[in-house]
Amino acid sequence: MTEPATDEAWRPTLVLASASPRRLALLEQAGIRPDALLPADIDETARRGERPRDYARRVAKEKARVASEVARSRPDPEQIITLAADTVVSVGRRILPKPELLDDAAACLRLLSGRTHHVHTAVCIVGPGGAARERVVESKVRLKNLSRGELESYLGSGEWRGKAGGYAIQGLAGTFVVKLVGSYTNVVGLPLYETVNLLAGAGYPVRFTWIEAA
């Protein structure tokens, strides 16, 4: 993976098409600081019969397209890179929601209790000139059998709200994880290895801030 010389003068503007604090924190973990946040307001309803992997890819691409169009209406659109992602938790072909209601979160956790599920995150990057690059990453996660007390306590924490599948592996629910096969950052919401490579391929100097940080 090669990168141009790290010169602030030419560094493209990086737009993150998300309001997710988790994705922002993961990018910052990799030393990448978005210049702007442009959450894309799109219809995220799954289509009839749509597979989880295909759903994640479609939604991420749509988020990237919408945010890119907004970003490119600004001055110097050729120097903009837009990054979007979507994370899906599924059991078989069933796509679980990002619950906002307690009953929905409880239903998700009861379904996931004691079994293995899949987490797909699609990452889409629109680079200078409008070319799009994408990757879909899959991880497998097994949760323990949740007792009634564990379920009620976790629901009472409110941590589940708005999280794919009704849990956050980087939080309290990490204590429920028996086994994870694949990328941990994928389950959190943004697979860093794949994201960094996509950004570098689009011409973004992903290691620009590393020397400063050291």
Number of independent structural domains in the chain: 1
pLDDT band of 210, cuts 50, 70, 90: confident
pLDDT tens, residue by residue, 147-197: 999 999 999 999 999 999 999 999 999 999 999 999 999 999 999 999 999
Q: Which domain holds residue 168?
A: 13-213
In a domain, 90, yes or no: yes
Report the alpha-carbon distance of residue 79 to residue 6 in Å, rounded: 15
pLDDT band of 7, cuts 50, 70, 90: very low
Q: What is the CATH number of the domain that holds 180?
A: 3.90.950.10
In a domain, 86, yes or no: yes
Of residues 41, 43, 76, 86, which has the active-site annotation? 86
In a domain, 29, yes or no: yes
**pLDDT for 4:** 41
Please enumerate in sequence order all residues whose Cβ is within 8 A of that of 35, keeping only pairs 6 or more positions apart, or say none: 13, 14, 15
In a domain, 3, yes or no: no
Return the higher-pLDDT residue of 6 and 65: 65
pLDDT tens, residue by residue, 15-30: 999 989 999 999 999 9
Is 86 a residue of the active site? yes
pLDDT exceeds cutoff 90 at 213 = no
Report the alpha-carbon distance of residue 177 to residue 144 in Å, rounded: 6
